[in-house]
Amino acid sequence: MYTFSNRLKTFAIVLMVLGLVGIVYGFINAPKTVSDVEQILTEQHHGDSHHVGEAGGSHAELSADEQAEHQHHLEHVLQQMQNKPWAAVYVACIFFMLISLGVLAFYAINYASQAGWSPVLARVMEGLSAYLLPGSIIFLILLVLSSMNMNHLFIWMDADVVADDKIISAKTGYLNVPFFLIRTVIYLAGWNLYRYYAVKNSRAMDANFDIAIHKRVFKASAAFLVFFIVTESMMSWDWIMSIDTHWYSTLFGWYVFASFFVTAVTVIAFTTLYLKSKGLLEYVNTSHIHDLAKYMFGLSIFWTYLWFSQFMLMWYSNIPEEVTYFVFRIQEYKLPFFGMLLLNFALPLLLLMNTEFKRITWVIVMAGTLIVVGHYLDFYNMIVPGTVGGSWFIGVPEIGSLMFFAGLFIFVVFTAMAKAPLLHKNHPLIEESKQFHY
């Protein structure tokens, strides 16, 4: 039986407190007026005419049209800078929630496929998926606040923008606030209901073995996977792709899935190694760790394949409404854009290609750390350019948001793990999993 140590609990609470301070600082420090923006741009660019509106003379010397254009530019930059703390919270919130969802999907895949290697890890996955409920609640609150015009993360929620934009107005049948929130509730409710049902029956099997219970979870897992694969694609359109409302990719749902799924498997590996270091999970051996590392390796290749397929086809065709998405990121977000390729593909490939390396703890931890950081940058790269534009940098609100949600994730996950034995003793395949070696 796992006990949530006071040291780890304190660490999680400290992360949350420091993270919350960083988030609050980000909101307080955001510019409030156009004058604040003009002053910031003046300090940043030392009187550059494009940003401060001198255009070869004083601001008063600009024509009426130029002054109107300049004012519009400043208002646009103000929105972007005010979006920055919101975007920081949004990226961290969705990142950790989808990690938990990815763990739940991996749990369902193993259950529905009757995998014999993984039942000794079932309780680890159940614990990690416990974050899905609080993560969903916080995320839903963020979306409701966005729909109330508390921020400008989704430009299609702005009636004035929609009225002046033919492309966005043509999408209002799908992209409208009531339907958007209804879809969100359906996604989140469906995922959480499956998790509740599966875990409830898992606990029931510990108390009283009944093959009928196992069959019910098997059927529920198969049904959930059908629901998941549809709603996962739709949520990626709604929550991420709609931020860049003019752009779309038919591959985007798979791309987002690969990103959070490989991160989820990596977190399972991290948690398993941590619990093993505490003398727990006695039946987990290097073969189980090796399989998790194989998934980390294979899914990293899969993510790269999807990234390349999406990028190269659009780049090669050079259709303006498609390639603009990548041009802006290459020009303005060079570090996260190219950095994630190094962290998500090149380095995990080198570290995990060797079979023996997949059994070495420090190699898995190193490769996994690169994967987690790299896919955070991937989500950052998907969300921030469309919300913050060129006014980006990873500062206090971004680090604070990561700390807060990481602390909350740790607190919720390990609290859940302490509520049940770490061995699912009456799983029909548990003996096969205990003896798993190759």
Amino acid sitting at position 424: H
Looking at the domain assignment, is residue 397 inside a domain?
yes
How far apart CA 136 and CA 142 sit, in angstroms, is 10
How far apart CA 338 and CA 331 sit, in angstroms, is 11
How far apart CA 227 and CA 218 sit, in angstroms, is 14
CA of residue 232 relative to chain centroid, distance = 12
Looking at the domain assignment, is residue 189 inside a domain?
yes
pLDDT given for residue 56 in this prediction: 41
> Look-up: residue for tokens 């010397």?
61
Looking at the domain assignment, is residue 351 inside a domain?
yes
For residues 104-137, one letter each, b for 16 or more C-beta atoms within 10 angstroms of the residue's C-beta and e for the rest, the string is bbbbbbbbbeebebbbbbbbbbbbbbbbbbbbbe
Looking at the domain assignment, is residue 78 inside a domain?
no
pLDDT given for residue 55 in this prediction: 39
Joined tokens for residue 291: 């399989």
Looking at the domain assignment, is residue 77 inside a domain?
no
Tens digits of pLDDT across the chain (438 residues): 889 999 999 999 999 999 999 999 999 998 888 887 778 777 776 544 444 444 344 455 667 767 777 777 777 788 888 899 999 999 999 999 999 999 999 999 999 999 999 999 999 999 999 999 999 999 999 999 999 989 999 999 998 889 889 999 999 999 999 999 999 999 999 999 999 999 999 999 988 888 999 999 999 999 999 999 999 999 999 999 999 999 999 999 999 999 999 999 999 999 999 999 999 999 999 999 999 999 999 999 999 999 999 999 999 999 988 999 999 999 999 999 999 999 999 999 999 999 999 999 999 999 999 999 999 999 999 999 999 988 888 899 999 999 999 999 999 999 999 999 999 888 899 999 999 888
pLDDT given for residue 255 in this prediction: 96
pLDDT given for residue 64 in this prediction: 72
Per the structure, the complete domain to which residue 381 belongs is given by 6-30+85-434
Which of 248, 231, 266 is CA-nearest to residue 371? 266
Looking at the domain assignment, is residue 298 inside a domain?
yes
Looking at the domain assignment, is residue 11 inside a domain?
yes
Looking at the domain assignment, is residue 80 inside a domain?
no
pLDDT given for residue 46 in this prediction: 57
Joined tokens for residue 14: 């400290």
Q: Looking at the 3D structure of the chain, how many domains does it have?
A: 1
How far apart CA 344 and CA 263 sit, in angstroms, is 10
How far apart CA 107 and CA 268 sit, in angstroms, is 10
pLDDT given for residue 391 in this prediction: 81
Residue 279 DSSP one-character state: T
